[in-house]
């Protein structure tokens, strides 16, 4: 039987038969269903994934007319020309639908002292660009811990059994982070940005996600028609605190559908779920698992959903230069099965 070139989650090339690829996809959807406590993919959905991954073509794509919107967590390498040149290149050569200006220290806290410089760059970009240009950074709650930040380090307190102190430190950090995110967002609105992206939300756990939600709530209240995006850090919210709630819902352990509902309630324009890649499994396995975990999210969505698809998330291999055959298959498969609004 023909052995078809396909990829592992680390990007390496392997060859499998069609039956082996189907077995990977069935195992992936079963793993996702078991982990997230959701339904596995239907047989017709599995068959569609098999068709996509059993093709030896270099590239795979959605049908004409089925294209979706692309948003980003920062565009450009910042290694050639200026940051505004990066944005122009993505607009005029890559032809992305949106671009995102970013500072290379991609967190709201370090941006605060350089905000006037960032505002001037955004202002110049807005003169020169036609497509929407957002500003992005991470809530990055760990930035607020000792020795560099103002609150005790909960990662040091927890191993000592100082649970109450660790929780109090996280709660204090949330308030600092919310102020910084709102401050930067307000500055970017004044400079002409088309929106703000709170990327990698939840990276430090439930308190990190809470900071993002509380910040979005305040930004939305002030700017009813502005673009606000949350992109998640991982597939479920880690319970570093364990007892934090938003709108009466405990944040620890939430999966994409529940995350989306709270993000929409807070006021996001666009929600970006993230599903982590297992590098020891095939891309086919990872894509099947991703689709299984995210399907309840897109089915229930009241706002656009842009699945995070990049190095190590959304089925895309964990590699600095992910192969286009794998990226295109993962993207197409997720758009087709999940009815995504974007990537």
Instruction: Verify binding: residue 269, another protein, rule CB under 8 A.
Output: yes
Beta partners for residue 6, in sequence order: 14
Out of 14, 47, 57, 128, the residue judged to bind another protein by CB under 8 A: 128
Burial class (CB in 10 A: 0-12, 13-18, 19+), 37: exposed
3-class secondary structure per residue, 19-42:
HHHHHHHHHHHHHHHHHHCCCCCC
CB of 131 to another protein, least distance (A): 4
- Residues contacting another protein: total by CB under 8 A: 41
Q: Are 251 and 291 in contact (CB under 8 A)?
A: no
**Distance of alpha carbon 246 from alpha carbon 262, whole angstroms:** 7
Rule CB under 8 A: say whether 69 interacts with another protein.
Answer: yes
**Nearer residue to another protein within complex by CB, 177 or 181:** 181
Give 323-328's long-range contacts (Cβ < 8 A, gap of 24+).
Answer: 323/7, 323/11, 323/13, 324/58, 324/59, 325/5, 325/7, 325/57, 325/58, 325/59, 325/60, 326/7, 326/11, 326/283, 328/59, 328/60, 328/61
Question: Taking CB under 8 A as the rule, does residue 17 contact another protein?
Answer: no
Selected range binding another protein among 8-16, 167-175, 239-247, 266-274, rule: CB under 8 A: 266-274
Which residue in 9, 142, 152, 195 binds another protein (CB under 8 A)?
A: 195
Q: How far is the CB of 227 from another protein (least distance, A)?
A: 3
Q: Indicate the SS3 state at residue 1.
A: coil
| Residue 27 interacts with another protein (CB under 8 A): yes or no | no
Q: Which stretch binds another protein (CB under 8 A): 51-59, 64-72, 166-174, 277-285?
A: 64-72
Task: Tell which one of 102, 135, 154, 189 touches another protein (CB under 8 A).
Answer: 189
Task: Name the residue among 277, 284, 280, 287 with its Cα closest to residue 23.
Answer: 284
Contact flag: residue 317 with another protein (CB under 8 A): no
Write down the least CB distance from residue 185 to another protein, Å: 12
Per-residue mark of binding to another protein, 129-148 (x: CB under 8 A):
xxxx-x--------------
DSSP secondary structure code for residue 106 in this structure? -
Least separation in angstroms between CB 129 and another protein: 6
Question: Which CB sits closer to another protein, 110 or 132?
Answer: 132
Interacting residues with another protein between 154 and 173 (CB under 8 A):
none
User: 95: helix, coil or strand?
Assistant: coil
CA dihedral 87, 305, 313, 104 (to 10 degrees): 30
Q: Which is nearer to another protein, 197 or 290 (CB)?
A: 197
Which residue's CB is nearer to another protein, number 34 or number 123?
123
Interactions with another protein, residue window 207-226 (CB under 8 A): 225-226
- How many CB atoms neighbour CB 124 within 10 A? 17
Question: What separation in angstroms does the CA of 144 have from each of 173, 178, 205, 213?
Answer: 6, 11, 14, 17
Contact between 216 and 264 under an 8 Å Cβ cutoff? The reply is no
Binding another protein by CB under 8 A: which of 40, 136, 312, 342?
342
* Binds another protein by CB under 8 A, chosen from 91, 140, 206, 217: 91
64 binds another protein (CB under 8 A): yes
Q: Is there binding between residue 67 and another protein (CB under 8 A)? A: yes
Which residues form the interface with another protein (CB under 8 A)?
64-65, 67-71, 91-92, 94-98, 126-132, 134, 189, 192-195, 225-227, 229, 268-270, 301, 303-304, 339-342
């Amino acid at each position: 039987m023909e052995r078809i070139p396909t990829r592992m989650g680390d990007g390496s090339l392997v060859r499998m038969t069609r039956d082996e690829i189907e077995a990977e996809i069935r195992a992936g959807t079963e793993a996702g269903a078991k982990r997230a406590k959701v339904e596995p993919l239907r047989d017709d959905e599995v068959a569609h994934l098999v068709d996509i991954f059993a093709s030896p073509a270099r590239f795979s794509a959605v049908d004409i007319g089925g294209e979706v919107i692309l948003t980003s967590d920062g565009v450009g390498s910042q290694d050639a020309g200026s940051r505004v040149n990066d944005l122009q290149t993505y607009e005029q050569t890559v032809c992305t639908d949106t671009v995102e200006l970013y500072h290379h220290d991609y967190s709201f806290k370090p941006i605060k002292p350089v905000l006037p410089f960032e505002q001037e760059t955004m202002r110049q970009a807005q003169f020169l660009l036609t497509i929407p240009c957002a500003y992005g950074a991470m809530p990055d709650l760990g930035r607020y811990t000792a020795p560099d930040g103002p609150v005790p380090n909960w990662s040091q307190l927890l191993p000592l059994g100082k649970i109450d102190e660790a929780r109090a430190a996280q709660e204090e950090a949330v308030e600092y982070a919310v102020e910084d995110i709102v401050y930067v967002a307000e500055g970017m609105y004044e400079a002409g940005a088309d929106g703000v992206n709170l990327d990698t939300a939840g990276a430090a756990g439930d308190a990190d996600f809470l900071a993002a939600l509380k910040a979005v709530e305040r930004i939305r209240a002030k700017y009813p028609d502005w673009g606000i995006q949350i992109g998640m850090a991982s597939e479920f919210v880690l319970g570093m605190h364990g007892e934090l709630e938003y709108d009466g819902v405990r944040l620890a352990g939430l999966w994409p559908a529940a995350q989306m509902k709270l993000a929409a309630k807070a006021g996001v324009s666009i929600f970006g779920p993230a599903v982590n890649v297992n590098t020891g499994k095939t891309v086919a396995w990872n894509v099947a698992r991703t689709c299984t975990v995210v399907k309840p999210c897109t089915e229930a969505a009241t706002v656009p959903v842009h699945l995070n698809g990049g190095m190590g998330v959304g089925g895309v291999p964990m590699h600095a230069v992910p192969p286009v055959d794998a990226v295109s298959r993962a993207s197409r498969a997720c758009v087709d099965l999940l009815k995504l609004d974007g990537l």
